[in-house]
Structure 1
Amino acid sequence: MGEDSAVPEASGSSRRDHGEQRRSPIRPMLASGGQPMPQAGPRWSWEFKFDGVRAIAVVEKSGRTRLISRNGLDVTSHYPELTVVGEVLDGRAAMLDGEIVALDEQGRPSFPLLQRRMHVAHPKAGLTAEIPVFYYLFDLLSLDGTELTAETYLRRRELLDDLGVEGRSKLVRVPPRQQDVDPNLLLDVARDNGLEGIIAKLNSSRYRMGERSRDWLKFPLLNTQEVVVGGWKPGSGSRADSVGSLILGAYDSPGVGLHYIGHVGTGFTQRMLADLLDRLRPLERLTSPFAAPVPREHARHARWVEPRLVGEVVFRTWSPDRRLRHSAWRGLRPDRDAAEIVVPAAQ
């Protein structure tokens, strides 16, 4: 492969609606649920888990940079300041994996802040100044025309560190990996610093593009679940003309059998409610999109929608019948496709 074509071309323009974009074949490798936790030792490395959105950066030798979301969309126009990645690589072509995050006033990753950037293509200077974003790099998938996905994680991290990216731009960072450390202590550090959790990566693991693997294990401090919105119910009182709750689902297998997994009526800001209503109304349909009847108390007065919107909730636990308990809304996830959201296997 040539240096300026070391990776597949990412198609689609951010000016078009996400549903109309052609998708890039580039997909990140995904971590699996982590139990049991590996013991400290030479086989595993540990990284902190940041509360943001995954993005693969495609950098050409010319410095041109494109950011590809987890579902293959070109989101470069949403985060124009992060094209600085091309500058810090100083003329080298590469494909890198990382997390886009927004930080609060205490310097902690804030998903609610990032939500205000995720839906805005070509943000104005005021928004980028108010909510700057940062790119945390943790993997190197190709370099100067050489594909590295068959190399071990340890080798890829070594090559990433050798690039000397850290310190060249305040917007691009390379968090350190840890080895031979008690993971429970790392979890305590993550908790104390408002991070999402930790990830264990097998040092010998290859990079499996688009696959979820147990070579990478995640240990989040919060229980979160991606959900498909299948309907909504109007509120009451001050929310009588807005969304009162969302009716949530996930598929039994990708794109097959939308299964009711609960509802959520808390965690919304006024900005979120207004945005949700604008997005839900064009999707309304007469019948339920769920494969089986939704419990009557939740189906009553429901307004059904085409199951296209993906969101994320934080919750306490799953019930025995695979329903979310004590859930709260976190926000929409435009980086995810509805058909990919499945009910997780019982632990």
Structure 2
Amino acid sequence: MGRLPSYRPMLAQLGPLPPPAQHDLWSAEMKWDGVRGLAYAEAGALRLMSRNGRDVTLAYPELYPMAAALGGRDVVLDGEIVAFDDAGRLSFGALAPRMHQRNPAKVAELVRAVPVTYMIFDVLHVDDRSVVRLPYDERRELLEGLVTPGFRWQLPVAFGGDPRAALEASRALGLEGVVVKRRDSPYRPGRRSADWTKVKNFSHLEVVVGGWKPGAGRRSGRIGSLLLGGHDSGGRLVYVGHVGTGFTDAMLTALREELAPLERPGSPFAVPVPREFARDARWVEPRLVGEVRYAEVTGDGRLRHPSWRGLRPDLSPGEVRAPGASLGRAASEGA
């Protein structure tokens, strides 16, 4: 058999759970917060390709034995490469040092310190046959017959029935959410489709606006993103991230009017904002409080995937604490 054909991963759309009347048409899987990877197992050797088509095989040598554990079959698998923190929790921050490292000595050191696991959730090709046109249920059955879970690769469970139970389980486990997949749908390489819908869990946090960056394209001449902060246990305003989504046009107009009289020449943050976010920033007096929802807090105290919810005029800036600050108000629990 010749070289396996190349594929691009199918992508999910963000959206809600399907309505109860359609629950039997869908299957739910946990959403793993890692990096996407297609695994090409051919002649007992493994090749890993990133979502954008880059060869990342050298970064994850602990996954190499997976190719020899497929019963001699040549296959293309789809999955997520994940890592866990010292407490055994899924952590994108723990994975970050692995993602761009290619130096063999440093990779070997990281394998010992932060080993990865490959969460396999689909199969695209088996021997000389593409299976992307098969419905999800048939591909899942095929996958379960092909893959025997190993020390560094797993075949996570797919949940039938009411996907709300899967979403609740993901929340209890501290995971990012679920992906619901139509059971009769084919795999659509390189396409984003509502046949796969990601439903995320978010937390809420109050933040202080310390600046903003001008927008581009459709937002040219308007606010592109807000630079956000919170107070640490010493009372200093520290940068916690930037948010550029969740705004309506009316919100953007109102924010520009609120921020205009607060402009100041320098940053209000106690520690310099990263250069890529400070460039072209318009700094303001830290008087406006808002609320965002977010997926998680990274190890350096930054918000991952924040989305703007609105201003909180009922709160004063001094009440707002950065994630992990030991004093003051806690983050909102779903307000």
- Corresponding residue of 2:122: 139
**Which of 103, 118, 140 is equivalent to 2:99?**
118
Name the aligned partner's letter for residue 224 of structure 2: Y
Tell me the percent identity: 37
* 1:304 Cα deviation from its structure 2 partner: 6.0
3-state SS of paired residue (2:89): coil
Name the aligned partner's letter for residue 181 of structure 2: K
Change (3 A) 1:36 1:124: closer
**Which of 65, 75, 79 is equivalent to 1:94?**
75
1:122-201 matches, cutoff 5 A: 122=104, 123-163=106-146, 165-167=147-149, 169-180=150-161, 182-201=162-181
Q: Tell me, which stretches of 5 or more residues in structure 2 are unaligned? A: 205-209, 231-258, 268-272, 280-297, 312-319, 324-335
**Which of 287, 294, 304 is equivalent to 1:314?**
304
Equivalent-residue separation in structure 2 for 1:94 and 1:298 (angstroms): 59
> Is 2:101–2:107's contact at 8 Å kept on the other side of the alignment?
no
3-state SS of paired residue (1:178): coil
CA RMSD of aligned residues (A): 3.9
* 1:54 Cα deviation from its structure 2 partner: 0.7
* 1:38 Cα deviation from its structure 2 partner: 3.5
> Is 2:70–2:148's contact at 8 Å kept on the other side of the alignment?
no
> Is 2:79–2:120's contact at 8 Å kept on the other side of the alignment?
yes
Q: Tell me, which stretches of 5 or more residues in structure 1 are unaligned? A: 9-25, 225-244, 267-293, 330-347
Change (3 A) 1:261 1:136: same
Q: Indicate the structure (1 or 2) with the bigger Cα radius of gyration.
A: 2
- Corresponding residue of 1:219: 199
> Is 1:51–1:110's contact at 8 Å kept on the other side of the alignment?
yes
* 1:36 Cα deviation from its structure 2 partner: 5.0
Equivalent-residue separation in structure 2 for 1:174 and 1:249 (angstroms): 44
Equivalent-residue separation in structure 2 for 1:155 and 1:73 (angstroms): 29
Displacement over 6 Å in runs of 4+: 245-251, 256-259
The total of aligned residue pairs comes to: 254
The C-alpha deviation readout for 1:46-103, integer Å capped at 9, x for no partner, is 111111111011111x122111111111111111211222111132111110000001
* 1:106 Cα deviation from its structure 2 partner: 3.9
Name the aligned partner's letter for residue 128 of structure 2: G
Change (3 A) 1:264 1:69: farther
- Corresponding residue of 2:65: 84
Change (3 A) 1:262 1:84: farther
Change (3 A) 1:247 1:127: farther
Name the aligned partner's letter for residue 97 of structure 2: R
* 1:320 Cα deviation from its structure 2 partner: 7.1
Equivalent-residue separation in structure 2 for 1:172 and 1:131 (angstroms): 15
Equivalent-residue separation in structure 1 for 2:202 and 2:51 (angstroms): 21
Equivalent-residue separation in structure 1 for 2:80 and 2:188 (angstroms): 17
